[in-house]
């Protein structure tokens, strides 16, 4: 994908809904079970709502019961970046789009697959991409 040209806050607000802006640009969280993507069964890949880069594949999605789409890995090692998040009185690993730096969700080490990972991602950050 081409180099991402940073957008101004005003350009982001024009591009995204209020909820999308809150999650992607202000590190917010959508309500659990509010996204149609929290359930498995979708086919293909999921891209970033902010920039369109492919992030996760449906073959790596699983039902964690947490209310948010969960994946055991990204489409490749470069799809997302991980950062320490000390907000809300806890220490977590924040997951961001490596291309446009949008907040996606968090990574937890309690996944049921061999990776042991659970990428807990806000569905509002994802756009389905058909194969």
User: How many C-beta atoms surround the C-beta of residue 67 within 10 A?
Assistant: 15
- Nearest one of 50, 56, 58 to 99, comparing CA atoms: 50
Query: At residue 121, what are phi and psi to the nearest 5 degrees?
Result: -115, 135
Tell me if residue 100 is catalytic: no
Query: Which one is catalytic: 48, 97, 100, 120?
Result: 120
Give Cα separations from 42 to 1, 10, 18, 68 (angstroms).
Answer: 24, 33, 25, 14
Residue with tokens 């880069």: 53
Give the catalytic positions in this structure. Answer: 120
């Amino acid at each position: 994908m081409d180099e991402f040209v940073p957008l101004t806050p005003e350009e982001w607000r024009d591009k995204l809904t209020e909820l999308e802006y809150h999650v992607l640009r202000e590190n917010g969280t959508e309500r659990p079970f509010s996204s149609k993507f929290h359930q498995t069964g979708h086919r293909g890949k999921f891209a970033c709502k902010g920039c369109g880069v492919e992030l996760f594949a449906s073959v790596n999605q699983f039902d964690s019961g947490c209310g948010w789409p969960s994946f055991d890995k990204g489409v490749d090692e470069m799809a997302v970046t991980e950062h320490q998040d000390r907000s809300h009185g806890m220490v977590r690993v924040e997951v961001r789009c490596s291309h446009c730096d949008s907040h996606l969700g968090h990574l937890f080490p309690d996944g049921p697959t061999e990776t042991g990972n659970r990428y807990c991602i806000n569905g509002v950050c994802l756009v389905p991409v058909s194969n």
